[in-house]
Structure 1
Amino acid sequence: MGMKVVYLLLDGVGDCPLQEPSEWKGRTPLEIAKTPNLDAIAARGVCGMVDPVAPGKACGSDTAHLNLFGYPPEQYYVGRGCYETLGAGMRITPQDVAFKSNFATIEGTTVTKRRADRSFEHEGPILAGLLDGTVIPGFPDLSIKVMYTTEHRCAVAIVGPGLSDKITGTDPLVDDRPLCVSEPLDSTAEARKTADALNTLTKEVTRKLETHPINVERRARGKNPANLVLFRGPGSLAPTPPVAEKYGIKGAVIAPTAIIRGVAESVGFDLPKLPKEATGGMDSDFKVKVAAVLDALDEYDFVFVHFKGIDDASHEGDSHEKVRQIERVDAAIAPLLERNDVVLVLSGDHSTPCIKKDHSFESVPFVYCDPVASADAVTAYTEKECAKGDMGRFPGDRVMPLIVSRIKQ
């Protein structure tokens, strides 16, 4: 008889050896953190290193999750913007073009801060509401939908006829760079129209945000104004076979982060409602997520839980906070180790080295812990130790077939 599976995904957990502080030099955050529960899973399981998408390829959380869910990105990827809007709860149609977006700060033509403020939970919904429904000047048939998601993020979709997602975005991807101008990626009239509309929309959004009382107050307090919205990852919906049909399992995803929820929804996973304490940021209550996993096991064959705070700390280059977030996850998952009727799968979705403050190409540590199977000799959940495991190094598209085979035994 098959067993139920819980997949613990530690976003951005992989790293490179740190150089500072001196007492940490040469060790990664996973090696520094005190992780008795993660280590116990490694000691009870079979370990290896997984390339979430492909060897030597840096990837986003969207393509990584899509591949780990068993949907090769080269076949099924529809753009980060689609996943962000779906995850936010926005309803879009195949004719719309959706974007993953940031509230940001612009001075002149320079994007001084791509993230106006990570602590934006009060101002974000207000500014998103201000922008929602905006008609794009010069394009009376086009308007936008806007929904706040988490931290500095919002989901945006351009709605109307004659659009194409074959355009570039406006996000320069690093601070203190000029705002990018959207360009068509093909010669169609639809792509040209969409790029022109997006550039016009960017100016209109800044016009609306610049003098809003929230930004007047933020400037007075010495804070970065949220006077710009950056648009990236344009995408339009496309048909995708649901996981129940493709793999014959009933699955749920526990994740408040919009981009992960959107990927999960696009392939047909259920998304149980989470308490407000599960924020998707570094302040998220991880114990609440684990409680939701335990509840979901009553109904589902496969439960996937996403821990985001580790990646956020990595993007900030804060190794101390990354260690703290790893230890918070370790403490939260303790109840799962008490279950002897569940297979535990443990991995990252990509590496996010603190020194780089961005996703990188390294493979990430993986554990498959079946309570009725034998273990290998690995006793710690770290990059170096898991690399010694019996599973070796393998691509992310092998993960879901492994999981499905265990569920269906």
Structure 2
Amino acid sequence: MKYIVILGDGMADYPVPELDNKTPLQYAKKPNIDMLAKKGTVGMVKTIPEGIAPGSDAANLSVMGYNPEVYYTGRSPLEAVSMGIKLSAADVALRCNLVYLSEEEEEYSDKTMIDYSSDEISTDEARILIAAVNKVLKKEDITFHAGISYRHCMVWNNGKTGLGCTPPHDILEKKITGYLPKEESGLLLSMMKKSYDILKNHPVNLSRKERGLRPANSIWLWGEGKKPALSSFPEKYGKTGAMISAVDLLKGIGICAGLESINVEGATGNVDTNFIGKANAAIDAINKGKDFVYVHVEAPDESGHRYEIDNKVKSIELIDSQVVGPIWEAMKKYDDYKILVLPDHPTPLSLRTHTSEPVPFIIYDSAKEIASPASSYDEFEAKKTNIFVDNGYKLMDLFIKGALD
């Protein structure tokens, strides 16, 4: 039996007036996904436990079969693992975004979060800026590590957790005053303020402005946590597997779970990502003997954060035509296979951030096609089936074992 998970990050949404009061999933043309829904088990799953922030970290752990209430230690440590950073038991890792803050205000705390990605700054430019930050702010117990685009990492030996940090994508177009770190010593805020002085007139940023691009004029620290200890997915489910994603968070989850992390050229995490490349990588992994492949596509989530209505619909349609369609066709040569399609959490366009509501899922079993009561795949059709998985981490049991343990 072969198993494929196709996860469209943040696909779920609310009805959108500009889309004839339909959700992006309802509005998008997605014949392959809708056909899977008509022949498979469709329902709703709650991926975010009560009391845990609705992030892709906890949600994807849940979808992978790991109870976030047991295994979740923070976002950044998972990303650090993917970046090859060696964390000790005493280390605290923090996500370090390169962001663009408004420039008119003299006081740092009076500024507004304009862009959490600095116009999707290039990795080459970002590495130069993170090196500049590390040169000035590095201490015996603090180091900065360059990642991809705007996503980087700070490691704090013997550091603290519970720092009151806020994800920058949650506060777009808001003043940062009420969202600054609440860590008692003020160390994090001090470094963020100093980073502004380091970066605001850096040659990389002056060049970006000349080219009409937003500068990356500050770091933003959040997502702190300690090294996670996930049990082995191959041992847990008896399946060899691979993770395919453009983002360090998912790569880190895969590595920690004992899956192979497969890189795809041109995978960006946005609507311009290499959709077909991800599908081909998944097909290749299965053909080479993997039992299980997890394909993560970030584009719908990014579109939700940016309030890009057309791009959110487009990303769903591209997932359907360039990921689901080719994978489904390639799997037909195998006698038995299953496909799971779902988002990790909603990212409503109207809110521009994640929410904790349950999300719709499809489990298609090639050996047990059924006449589903769902006529298509969306939030409302899934609710009609009255199938509900309250503990999201048990969905993987349903997918692989055919029953909830």
TM-score (norm 1): 0.87
**Which residue identity is paired with 1:291?**
N
- 1:334 equivalent in alignment to 2:325: yes
Q: CA deviation at 1:251?
A: 1.8
- Distance of 2:22 and 2:344 partners within structure 1: 20
**Secondary structure of the structure 1 residue equivalent to 2:361:** strand
Q: CA deviation at 1:170?
A: 6.3
**Secondary structure of the structure 1 residue equivalent to 2:38:** helix
Q: Which residue of 1 aligns with 2:275?
A: 286
- Distance of 2:233 and 2:361 partners within structure 1: 22
**Secondary structure of the structure 2 residue equivalent to 1:387:** helix
Q: 1:354 aligns with which of 338, 345, 349?
A: 349
- Distance of 2:317 and 2:91 partners within structure 1: 41
Q: CA deviation at 1:145?
A: 2.5
Aligned partners of 1:104 and 1:111 also within 8 Å: no
Q: Which residue of 1 aligns with 2:374?
A: 378
- Distance of 2:34 and 2:166 partners within structure 1: 42
- Distance of 2:256 and 2:3 partners within structure 1: 21
Q: Which residue of 1 aligns with 2:127?
A: 125
Where does structure 1 lack aligned partners over 5 or more consecutive residues? 185-191
Aligned partners of 1:131 and 1:205 also within 8 Å: yes
Q: 1:262 aligns with which of 228, 252, 255?
A: 252
Q: 1:12 aligns with which of 3, 10, 13?
A: 10
Where does structure 2 lack aligned partners over 5 or more consecutive residues? none
Quickly say closer, same or farther: Cα 1:55–1:143, change in 2 above 3 A. closer
- 1:403 equivalent in alignment to 2:399: yes
- Distance of 1:27 and 1:57 partners within structure 2: 28
- 1:29 equivalent in alignment to 2:24: yes
- Distance of 2:152 and 2:400 partners within structure 1: 34
Q: Which residue of 1 aligns with 2:147?
A: 148
Give the total of aligned pairs: 386
Q: CA deviation at 1:171?
A: 5.4
Q: Which residue of 2 aligns with 1:187?
A: none
**Which residue identity is paired with 1:94?**
A
- Distance of 1:394 and 1:165 partners within structure 2: 29
Quickly say closer, same or farther: Cα 1:238–1:39, change in 2 above 3 A. closer
Quickly say closer, same or farther: Cα 1:75–1:294, change in 2 above 3 A. same
Aligned partners of 1:133 and 1:144 also within 8 Å: no
Aligned partners of 2:47 and 2:62 also within 8 Å: yes
Aligned partners of 1:38 and 1:330 also within 8 Å: yes
1:205-252 deviation digits (Å, cap 9, x = unpaired): 223212211222334455433111000011111433222233332221
Within-5 A mapping of 1:140-289: 140-150=139-149, 152-158=150-156, 160=157, 162-169=158-165, 173-174=170-171, 175-179=173-177, 180-184=179-183, 195-220=185-210, 223-275=213-265, 277-289=266-278
Aligned partners of 2:121 and 2:216 also within 8 Å: no
Q: 2:297 aligns with which of 286, 289, 307?
A: 307
**Which residue identity is paired with 2:2?**
K
**Secondary structure of the structure 1 residue equivalent to 2:384:** coil
- Distance of 2:362 and 2:203 partners within structure 1: 50
Aligned partners of 2:9 and 2:297 also within 8 Å: yes
RMSD value over aligned CA atoms? 2.4
